[in-house]
Amino acid sequence: MARRLLIASLAGGVVLFFWGFAWYAAIPLHENSMKTFSNADDMASALATGTDGHGVYYYPSTHEEMAKKPFALVIYDPGGSPSMTPFMVKGFVGNLIAAAIVSLMLLTVVDPAASIGKRIGFVVAVYLTAAALCRIPDASWWHFPNSYLLLEVIFLAVGGVLVGAVTAMLTMPIADSSEPVDDASAS
């Protein structure tokens, strides 16, 4: 079981990594849901003077003000990102962990006799549960536009299908070749 878990986790992690690359770098769907500031230099100056460094900031800071003022959520890193390598490494590690979790679940929770379709469906259900637990509340609390939320849920659902297909196939029970074949049932 350990070998199948390792192989499925690695294969699933690689598939998720390349799916994430395709989704965010090659498919231009987020162009309309993730926007840039029209006055980027002014915003950079305001963030540099109005923050305490790297962090997540929101405006306004009280519920009373939120009823009267515009809302903003900003992730600010004054050091910038000179290299994509650390982000890619963290992303890949996260993908490996996610693939390992669903692989372990397929090996220990899902009925070994379940069809490949049911196994993939199980993984998609896990990914949609993650969307319901994480993305939907984030969209509600942090005012994400519906277009952004929809794209994130689609990203997770398709990722679930892709990692589900790979991990479901690689965690399928292996027939024990040491058992003799019954010639009568083979014909």
pLDDT, tens digit, for every residue of 31-89?
A: 777 888 899 999 999 999 999 999 999 899 888 898 899 998 899 999 888 888 999 99
Q: What is the pLDDT of residues 108-130, one digit of tens each?
A: 999 888 999 999 999 999 999 99
Is residue 148 included in any domain, yes or no? yes
From 100-114, 142-156, 171-185, the region with the lowest mean pLDDT: 171-185
pLDDT tens digits, residue range 69-85?
Answer: 999 889 999 988 888 89
Angle at 126 between CA 120 and CA 131, to 5 degrees: 125
pLDDT band of 175, cuts 50, 70, 90? low
- Residue 139 makes CB contacts below 8 A (sequence gap 6+) with 146, 148, 149, 152
Q: Report yes or no on 48 lying in a domain.
A: no
What's residue 28's pLDDT?
Answer: 81
Q: Is the pLDDT of residue 177 over 50?
A: no
Is residue 87 assigned to a domain? Answer: yes
Number of domains in the chain: 1
Domain contains 17: yes
In a domain, 44, yes or no: no
- Mean local confidence (pLDDT), 128-139: 92
pLDDT band at 179 (very low <50, low <70, confident <90, very high): very low
Q: String of b and e for 1-10 (b: at least 16 CB within 10 Å)?
A: eeebbeebbb
Please indicate, yes or no, if residue 14 is contained in any of the structural domains: yes
In a domain, 9, yes or no: yes
Q: What is the mean pLDDT of residues 151-165?
A: 94
Q: What is the model's pLDDT at position 181?
A: 45
**Full domain range(s) for residue 118:** 2-34+83-173
Asked if the structure places residue 128 within a domain, the reply is: yes
Percent of the chain with pLDDT over 70: 93
Whole-number percent of the chain with pLDDT over 90: 61
